[in-house]
Amino acid sequence: MLRPFPATLRKHGWLYLMLVPAAAYYLIFQIMPYYGLVIAFKDFNPVQGISGSPWVGLKHVRGLIDNPDFGRLMRNTVLISLFKLIVGFPVPVVFALLLNEVRRSWFKRSVQTITSFPYFLSWVVYGGIVSSFLTPTGVINSVIQTFDGSVVNFLANSGMFRPIVIITDAMKNFGWGSIIYLAAIAGINPDLYDVARVDGAGRWKQLLHVTLPGLMSTLLLMFIISLSHILDAGFEQVYVLLNPAVYSVGDIIDTYVYRVGLEKGQFSVATLVGLCKGAIGFVLIIGANALLRRTSDKSIW
């Protein structure tokens, strides 16, 4: 029989009190800001405030679609995000599978710590390290010149900028991302490996028929979550590495929102772009989950 809530509150009051900071955080920083989305359909003026600013309907939507830069921004954002997903999603999975095969625990822990460390560096620091390697006077060009090659300005080369963004993002995050898959591997029943060995399965067969099936639910969950962020190409990273020479291939929606919203004060347009990104991400995660539910027995809900 369920205990009445007042009685439960009296008995476990301190536990509920511990929820107050988390609840306050989500209320103040996650729920209340939704009210501000209405300025996407208003001609927002900070002096008049959100409620006092006049409604303009879909004026900013039409202006965004008619913007000659909109197609370029959308193309750059989708391409960078898509290739980040294609390259960055399998790398931590493969790394976790390889690291799981290491039998010396001290070496395994050391490698995991070293590879996870870059995740905790801000893109300001990490981007500075990347730039120091790729500038005309950087380490890589010094090596190229040693072999009588010509100097290459990697970050100002429109053909190299996107690969640099994609590869450096994968390098920064794969160690931390592998922790989830290592935890999932650790949760696989060891008896399954024993049965596989009795049946004559080697390490490769165990990987294919025990480890990967055991990881499948985690892989699908992480893929759906990653798909919902398909329009998040990574503002911090791109902003740090971006320069006018590669605007044609590197300027994304987030950097555009920063310039328009904060530098030019067009808060309504910036809010509209953020709202569109959130709506597209919501549709993608719902669609991907529905597709998985129809084609398999695995889904988030």
Candidate from 81-90, 91-100, 208-217, 258-267 with smallest mean pLDDT: 258-267
More confident residue, 227 or 92: 92
Full set of structural domains in the chain with CATH? 68-295 (1.10.3720.10)
Rounded CA-CA distance 121/242 in Å is: 19
Candidate from 93-97, 187-191, 248-252, 277-281 with smallest mean pLDDT: 277-281
Structure confidence at residue 14 (pLDDT): 82
Rounded CA-CA distance 6/17 in Å is: 14
Rounded CA-CA distance 69/96 in Å is: 41
Q: Which residue has the tokens 């009190």?
A: 17
Candidate from 106-115, 121-130, 239-248, 272-281 with smallest mean pLDDT: 272-281
With a CB cutoff of 8 Å and minimum separation 6, the contacts of 283 are none
Structure confidence at residue 136 (pLDDT): 85
Candidate from 141-145, 174-178, 179-183, 284-288 with smallest mean pLDDT: 284-288
* pLDDT beyond 80 at 100: yes
With a CB cutoff of 8 Å and minimum separation 6, the contacts of 224 are 285, 288, 289, 292, 300
* pLDDT beyond 80 at 295: no
Query: Measured between alpha carbons, how far is residue 72 from residues 109, 135, 166, 192, 251 in Å?
Result: 44, 26, 18, 51, 8
SS (H, E, C) 161-210: HHHHHHHHHHHHHHHHHHHHHHHHHHCCCHHHHHHHHHCCCCHHHHHHHH
Q: Which residue has the tokens 């790394």?
A: 95
Specify whether the CB–CB gap between 228 and 282 falls below 8 A: yes
pTM value is 0.82
Q: What band does 287 get if pLDDT is binned at 50, 70 and 90?
A: confident
Q: What band does 2 get if pLDDT is binned at 50, 70 and 90?
A: low
Structure confidence at residue 74 (pLDDT): 87
